[in-house]
Amino acid sequence: MNSYMSRRQFLKKMTKWTVLGVGLCLNGTLLAACEKSITGGGLNLEDPDTEEQKPFIFFSNKSLGYYFYIIQQEAVNRAAQSIGWGFQSSVADFDPSKQDQQIRDILAKKPVAVVADPVDSEGLEETMSAARREAIPVGIIDTPLMTGEASITIAFDNYKAGEMAAQKIIELLTEKYGTPKGIVLNCFGQLKSHAWNLRKQGFEAVIQTYEDVELISRATEGDLTKMHDVTAEILSQFPQLDAVHAPSETPARGIYQALKEKGRLHPKGSKEHVIFVTIDGEPIAHQWIKEGILDATISQDPIAYGEICVELLNKYARQGKEVPLEQYSNSKYYWEKAQIMQTASGPSLILPPFEVNTGNVDDKRLWGNIAFNDWGIKYY
């Protein structure tokens, strides 16, 4: 089938998808990425329905292989539907050239706006210019652009998130030994992603200030299998590994499995517990926190990304207005307040990271709880 689809088509075609071996269900419907019959990102809509005839927003997703990206897409869709827009999307499968072509192709169809989560932070500059020439506003979510300008960017302080994850590990090492010391593994993600790169930088900048903490930094490309293999290898070399960090929970399943296989999957309070801190705040992180396996996750908010991006595109960019540089406030979100600032890529709302732990894991405003409990998008 073609990679550009409405929400209705998306649900009709979802039949075989798994997230790295773990599927998702939306109200009993298997959530699936569709097989694509097109090549080169070309546009070839088939079986159009009424929804596609009305004004629509287009979402360029980098992947459907992460729960996080599924929720971003659902958030954009729900926000668009709430104001009467149709919804179409494409999936780049982490291929920056494919994503660039998919967005270029859709511009000819005149969407009311485009929202994208870039695969490559430096790969969409010319496409952003093409959208401006067509007077089509573009919103960027999750991964900020390093080159090019968007109508609005909704992102996350990834560097601070990395710092906070490291600070949590240092806090727990100090509790364990009375002083910050030990062996820490960082399974960092794909560095083409500006977001993951910043998480690595923030995490390692903090850890490296403690001379008695040994940092083992290993590339995993954000891949579950690689995280598993790296963690298993390090556990063999360093059986007394004290702590491990991953920049996202979907690939961190590999860490969880490696700890289990090596007999090191013990809850907090056990002498054998390996300190485990992640970033993102997926429902699986909530489950691990309740099990005592995960000490904390530094959460972002993909629901807010999608909802606020559509809100500001509709309120300002679609009206030919600049997004004002002011404080954004909304108590429906756990973080409640954030500042819209001018950046090289245009107006940017940078959401503050926050820690999820046993004390707040059941808060109904957390995106993981909304997606899992309210929207019914579940692992199976």
CATH number of 158-299: 3.40.50.2300
Contact 202, 166 (CB under 8 A): yes
Q: Is the pLDDT of residue 113 over 60?
A: yes
Contact 172, 207 (CB under 8 A): no
pTM of the model: 0.85
- The pLDDT, as a whole number, for residue 19 is 35
DSSP reduced 3-state for 56: strand
- The pLDDT, as a whole number, for residue 189 is 87
DSSP reduced 3-state for 60: strand
Residue boundaries of the structural domains of the chain: 5-150+301-352, 158-299
Q: Is the pLDDT of residue 40 over 60?
A: no
- The pLDDT, as a whole number, for residue 34 is 32
Q: Is the pLDDT of residue 32 over 60?
A: no
Tell me the C-alpha distance between 320 and 85, whole Å: 18
Angle 297-303-304 from CA coordinates, rounded to 5°: 95
158-299: same fold as 5-150+301-352?
Answer: yes
What is the 8-class DSSP label of residue 87? E
CATH number of 5-150+301-352: 3.40.50.2300
Residue 123 sits at φ, ψ, to 5 deg, of: -100, 5
> In the predicted model, what is the mean pLDDT of residues 105-118?
97
Q: Sorting pLDDT into bands at 50, 70 and 90, what band is 128? A: very high
Dump the DSSP string for 95-139: -HHHHHHHHHHHHTT--SEEEE--SSTTS-HHHHHHHHHTT--EE
Dump the DSSP string for 294-338: --EEEE--HHHHHHHHHHHHHHTGGGT-PPP-SEEE-TTSTT-EE
Nearest to 370 by CA among 144, 30, 78, 16: 78
- The pLDDT, as a whole number, for residue 222 is 87
Q: Sorting pLDDT into bands at 50, 70 and 90, what band is 193? A: confident
Tell me the C-alpha distance between 281 and 362, whole Å: 12
Give residue-wise pLDDT tens across range 11-25.
333 323 333 334 444
- The pLDDT, as a whole number, for residue 74 is 98
> In the predicted model, what is the mean pLDDT of residues 193-215?
95
Q: Sorting pLDDT into bands at 50, 70 and 90, what band is 44? A: very low
Element (H, E) at 255: helix 249-261
- The pLDDT, as a whole number, for residue 379 is 74
Q: Give how far Cα 148 sits from Cα of 102, 125, 126, 324, 354, Å.
A: 17, 4, 7, 19, 29
Residue 331 sits at φ, ψ, to 5 deg, of: -75, -5
Give residue-wise pLDDT tens across range 230-252.
999 999 999 999 999 999 999 99
Q: Is 136 left (phi over 0), alpha (psi -120 to 50) or beta?
A: beta
Specify which of 25-29, 45-49, 125-129 reaches the highest per-range mean pLDDT. 125-129
- The pLDDT, as a whole number, for residue 239 is 96
Q: Cα Rg for the chain, rounded, in angstroms?
A: 21
Give residue-wise pLDDT tens across range 279-338.
999 999 999 999 999 999 999 999 999 999 999 999 999 999 999 999 999 999 999 999
